[in-house]
Amino acid sequence: MAEIRALVAAAGRGTRAGLPYPKTLFALQGRPILVRIMELLAPYDKEPTVIVSPDGEAPVRECLAASHCSAHLVVQPSPKGMGDAVLRFDQSPAFKNAEHVLLIWGDVPFIQPQTVSAVVNAHLAHGNDFTFATRMVDAAYTVVSRDELARVTGVVETRESGINEPRPGERDIGLFVFRKDVLMPALREELPGKWGTTTGEHGFLYVIGHLAARGCQVEALPVATEMDLVSLNSMKDVHAFL
Residue 239 has pLDDT above 70, yes or no: no
Mean per-residue pLDDT, 142-146: 96
Q: The domain containing residue 82 runs over which residues?
A: 4-232
CB-CB contact of 33 with 64 (8 Å): no
Q: Report if residue 242 sits inside a domain.
A: no
Does residue 134 lie in a domain region?
yes
**Three-state DSSP state, 197:** coil
Q: What is the distance between the alpha carbons of residues 5 and 2, in angstroms, rounded to a whole number?
A: 10
Alpha helices, DSSP H only, in the chain? Answer: 33-41, 57-66, 82-87, 113-125, 158-161, 180-188, 206-213, 235-238
Q: Is 31 inside a domain boundary? A: yes
Domain assignment present for residue 58? The answer is: yes
* 27 lies in some domain: yes
Q: Does this model's pTM top 0.85?
A: yes
| Whole-number pLDDT of residue 238 | 73
pLDDT of residue 33: 96
Query: Is the model's pLDDT at 235 over the cut of 80?
Result: no
Q: Is residue 241 part of a domain?
A: no
Q: How many domains does the chain have?
A: 1
Q: Decide if 240 is inside a domain.
A: no
Question: Closest by alpha carbon to 52, among 72, 67, 70, 36?
Answer: 72
pLDDT tens figures, 40-57 = 999 999 999 999 999 999
Residue-wise pLDDT tens digits, 146-194: 999 999 999 998 877 666 778 899 999 999 999 999 999 999 999 999 9
∠ CA(184), CA(84), CA(192), 5° rounding? 75
Which domain CATH number covers 181? 3.90.550.10
In a domain, 239, yes or no: no
